[in-house]
Chain A
Amino acid sequence: EVQLVESGGGLIQPGGSLRLSCAASGFTVSSQYMSWVRQAPGKGLEWVSIIYSDNSGGSTYYVDSVKGRFTISRDNSKNTVYLQMNSLRAEDTAMYYCTVWDCSSTSCADYWGQGTLVTVSS
């Protein structure tokens, strides 16, 4: 069974840093495209970052608003994906979800973690 469990969120002052973790089970993170999506309180979904599978070169991408501040990475030995967030701003306050698609030859399914809440405030 595929499961994603996020952790690492919390209350942090502006300018601070946090590292979010997404521990995966039921599949290997190195073989899938792993994404982070966030949702500010009462707002819509915002795609944040992705790391491609090893087979696709492991490339990483970011939404413009976090480029240079956030870094996505993975530890294959721990089957975990990370989002290092530096220079945090009030507008980074959101629930952060880790997500992955699992596609067979006939269909796709998505999996999401329960989310971890990041609050940036003084």
Chain B
Amino acid sequence: EIVLTQSPGTLSLSPGERATLSCRASQSVSSNNLAWYQQKPGQAPRLLIYGASSRATGIPDRFSGSGSGTDFTLTISRLEPEDFAVYYCQQYGSSPPWTFGQGTKVEIK
């Protein structure tokens, strides 16, 4: 089973600032099958990025993903008020289980 470790646990930033979130895998993620989700309180998660760098349908271009192998990054270029939430990475390479990271909370500074 691939273990995903996200850092930092909490990111305190102001609107307009750049957010950089990290996701490290315990072994290489097959075909860079790494996704990022956003979750707000009381809501289901929402897919932001799949395939490590492809934006999901309807996702603004201030969200970008990068990385390969075991190290992946989600970048939010300029934080909007609605971007303050918890972000999870998930690997879906090869056979399941398709594990999630423990999450990074982006909070208003």
- CB A3 to nearest CB in B, in angstroms, measures 13
| Known pairs A45-B88, A109-B56, A109-B57; A114 contacts B96 (CB<8 A) | no
Taking a contact as CB atoms under 8 Å apart, the answer to whether B96 and A50 are in contact is: yes
Our count of residue pairs bridging A and B at CB distance below 8 angstroms stands at: 62
Closest A residue to B46 by beta carbon equals A110
Interface residues of B, count at CB 8 A = 25
Taking a contact as CB atoms under 8 Å apart, the answer to whether B97 and A47 are in contact is: yes
Interface residues of A, count at CB 8 A = 22
Interface residues of chain B: helix, strand, loop or mixed (majority):
loop
| Known pairs A45-B37, A109-B58; A50 contacts B98 (CB<8 A) | yes
Residues of B within 8 A of A (CB): 1, 37, 39, 44-47, 50, 54-58, 86, 88, 90, 95-103
Residues of A within 8 A of B (CB): 35, 37, 44-47, 50, 61-64, 97, 99, 101, 107-110, 112-115
